[in-house]
Structure 1
């Protein structure tokens, strides 16, 4: 079969079919599976040793399939164990695969002809594969892959769960496992079940097919994508409110916007957090903001005119302004900054420079948080793995995590328009390296249904129990912009070798539970500063004659900028007034329907100068 992969607007061709030589042991629970008379064999030319013996179906060498007769399945769970061995006819660099065929239609007599889906493992390429074949068009489309460690002659449990158009594939599933593949496709709604082989020899055992229904998620769910015109996102969580800072993909808005939410799912546009003009350097290309807090100040690192800048504000909402109106380095093009605070209180900045591609650098931040210690400047990551080199040599979008003394520098690789674009990571015992890339990168990658998945940050659920990769994706395989905002769960776990690794459940296109501990509410953020302007009064005026505001605006996570809800304020006025400055305090009550998740003070203050 001619292999055709249509993905990300690209047409790729190859002459190698995806499937593997297989031996199948029929010892499952279902009598129709264990009865060898219920199977039909289809073999490639030259393969003449397919047979049934003592409950074992053998499909050797090049391309073969065995199909369960007559039975058709629509919604089901199919479990089996597989052991893949090398074939004598295996060629160098040839896929060595074994897997499951399902919803099979339009069978041909040869070994590879069918219409339907395949889910299996490729030991040679060290990946899980889900794809679909079309007999009439003589084509194969790779839907999604996932890197994993596999070894010849080891046993792996495969599980495929199919309900309607929802397909999930697992390898060695345990309780709370993430599916290796989780997609939506409705090209085939029912059909027969079987196994397939290509240049390998494998044994399938403990087969079981049962009817399957998905259990409904308890509580609220979300489905990606969550926002449009959002790329290169970063999130800050302060006092029960999430603040999202993105590149506004597809147009120049003259700075960096900010959105607010209490559940990471439902967002309110709060307008501009940083705007170009006399307070900030740059005229275009406002990209990839990154946020960090230090000593009550909020620092925004961002790109403008392909230079790194930093602005500061007293509030996550801004306005962010530069103390020195200039980029960090005036003579060097740099993008994609990320600030990281280590356990010892030291701060680091990671960013990208251009040298025959995009290369990640790092350095210590100086105490001013606006410059780096140039003596610590270190080249951190250079594009090297094959997936990072498609269409361009790119490592970018760094984001640092730390666990048990190990630094996990996550990043994006490959050109953002490439079907290989995704996220990987490297580890070190030092914040500036040297770093070693994870062999099974990428841990999240674009696929035929979610193109352009990359440039991420990391956020935790409100209760701190879950970790999320927040990232952008393309609107479609044909249009890069406007890019869209998505979130998916990620975690530290153990891989097949018992190593601590990062794992992502995504990119998803199916309903997912909202982050744990999250509630979609209107959360109190603070008082409108324009209503609390300092006031100068005459000494001979009574405090009751100061014309203080009777109402002040409150800013919430769902309030529209400049349309804040007004609440009554009752000022605690002094009885004796003397010259000089004094701070007076007021009392307010929040209206019904507005929460105070961060337990912030509800005591507004004003400075009064008495002359």
Structure 2
């Protein structure tokens, strides 16, 4: 096996262990990945994080958040999303896999002075604990728009909502029509929303298919507004039966200095196809001359060694 000095590509998976639903983000000169610990729901009581200066060598930060800090959470801590605001780091997460409005759980938020944590519960209760527009309160992604407004996109059970976060992330600001949660579900949507901007356009992405099966995949839409409408364009990430199956629930990192785009996602190894055997991978994401996302080729090699700046 190559030493750290000799290692020229990340390889896939990029770090050992069963991890899914990864959010990739750049803070300063470091790449970070915040994934779900992939295990039976009752064992999903903590979140780990991973950092790297070059995409190839990753450091594990154990238990940056766990249920001892979030008293209302007891299982199924899922799909973290993180933003930096006013020199603090806010980590949004799902917990308890609630099936109705009568259960305790939903989407929470934790805060820390460092991206490596430890994180503490910001509210002492869920931020969203009800089914609005049919959306299970899971799989949240927080997006900062060009005007500084933070939006949360979230939802399972084939429904996606968007809401405007207030300034201190303790609640939401209603839209002009008085509603707080707007449904923006595109065709084919199942879960795992993600948003980024490029060339003045909003790229909205999501996962389709069943998360435990081989046909999990990612599709996208483009719009002129963070509220859509979002019309499905194409599938851009999916299984390759010669490499891996179940490629989905992704995020995107943009190295602005080099204008390189990376898709961070999970997939299921061919030799370990059981439900919770999911691993985190990175491959390059490219665009055509019209700004459309080219289908991503999933690889065993991963991406080339690359500093942030």
TM bucket normalised to smaller: 0.7 to 0.9
Q: Deviations over 1:80-119 (max 9, x none)?
A: xxxxxxxxxxxxxxxxxxxxxxxxxxxxxxxxxxxxxxxx
In structure 2, relative to structure 1, the CA distance for the partners of 1:512 and 1:302 (3 Å cut) is closer
Aligned to 1:459: 253
Structure 2 counterpart of 1:528: none
Question: Shift of residue 276 of structure 1?
Answer: 0.8
What residue in structure 2 maps to residue 222 of structure 1? 10
Quick check: 1:242 aligned with 2:242?
no
Q: CA deviation at 1:420?
A: 2.8
Looking at structure 1, the residues matched to 291 and 256 of structure 2 have their Cα atoms a distance apart, in angstroms, of: 24
Q: Following TM superposition, where does structure 1 have runs of at least 4 consecutive aligned residues deviating by more than 6 angstroms?
A: none
SS at match of 1:443: strand
Q: 1:396 to 1:513 in 2, by over 3 A?
A: closer
Q: Which residue does the alignment assign to 1:533?
A: none
SS at match of 2:24: strand
Alignment check: 8 A CA contact 1:359 1:381 kept: yes
Q: Give distance in 1, aligned partners of 2:92 and 2:200.
A: 26
2:163 counterpart residue number: 363
Distance 1:403 1:462 in 2: 11
Q: Which of 260, 263, 274 is the aligned partner of 1:469?
A: 263
For residues 394-416 of structure 1, give each alpha carbon's deviation from its aligned partner in whole angstroms, at most 9, with x where no partner exists.
52111101122211101111112
**What does residue 122 of structure 1 align with?**
none
Aligned to 1:482: 277
Q: Secondary structure at the match of 2:191?
A: strand
Q: Secondary structure at the match of 1:350?
A: strand
Q: Does 1:397 align with 2:192?
A: yes
Give the TM-score of the pair, scaled to structure 2: 0.84
* 1:267-289 deviation digits (Å, cap 9, x = unpaired): 12211111112545300000000
Q: How does 1:137-536 map to 2 (within 5 A)?
A: 220-227=8-15, 228-251=17-40, 252-306=43-97, 307-332=106-131, 333-354=136-157, 358-374=158-174, 375-382=179-186, 384=187, 388=188, 394-438=189-233, 441-449=234-242, 450-461=244-255, 463-476=257-270, 478-494=273-289, 499-509=290-300, 511-517=301-307
1:487 shift after superposition: 0.3
Rounded to whole Å, the distance in 2 between the matches of 1:512 and 1:324 is 38
**Contact 1:219–1:513, Cα closer than 8 Å, also in 2:** no
Whole-Å Cα distance in 2 between the matches of residues 376 and 426 of structure 1? Answer: 23
CA distance in 2, matches of 1:468, 1:371: 31
Show CA shifts across 1:204-239 (max 9, x none).
xxxxxxxxxxxxxx9812321222211000123223
Give the distance between the partners of 1:278 and 1:490, measured in 2 at CA.
Answer: 36
Give the Cα–Cα distance (whole angstroms) in 2 for the partners of residues 253 and 330 of structure 1. 19
**Which secondary structure does the structure 2 equivalent of 1:502 belong to?**
coil
What residue ranges of structure 1 are gaps of 5+ in the alignment?
Answer: 1-217, 389-393, 519-596, 598-611
CA distance in 2, matches of 1:280, 1:267: 30
**Structure 1 contact 349–372 (Cα < 8 Å) conserved:** no
**Cα distance in structure 2, aligned partners of 1:301 and 1:413:** 22
Query: Could you say if the C-alpha distance between residues 408 and 299 of structure 1 is closer, same or farther in structure 2, counting changes exceeding 3 Å?
Result: same
The 1:258–1:280 alpha-carbon spacing in structure 2 relative to 1, beyond 3 Å, is: farther
1:46-57 to structure 2, matched below 5 A, reads none
**1:493 is paired with a residue of what secondary structure?**
coil
Rg comparison, structure with higher value: 1
Provide the alpha-carbon RMSD of the alignment: 2.2
Give the number of the structure whose residues are more often strand, by fraction: 1
CA-CA distance at 1:255 after TM superposition: 1.7
Q: Structure 1 405/304 Cα, relative in aligned 2: closer, same or farther at 3 Å?
A: same
Q: In 1, Cα distance between the equivalents of 2:278 and 2:65? A: 20
1:334·1:353 contact (CA, 8 Å) conserved in 2?
yes
* In structure 2, distance between residues paired with 1:405 and 1:489: 21
Residues 475 and 352 of structure 1: CA distance in aligned 2, closer, same or farther (over 3 Å): same
Separation of aligned partners in 1, 2:10 and 2:70: 38
In the TM superposition, residue 381 of structure 1 has moved relative to its aligned partner by 1.6
Q: Which runs of 5+ in 2 are unaligned?
A: 1-5, 98-105
Kindly state the Cα deviation for residue 349 of structure 1 after the two structures are TM-superposed. Answer: 0.4
Distance 1:504 1:316 in 2: 31
SS of structure 2 residue aligned to 1:411: strand
What are the residue-to-residue correspondences of 1:30-179 with 2, within 5 Å?
Answer: none
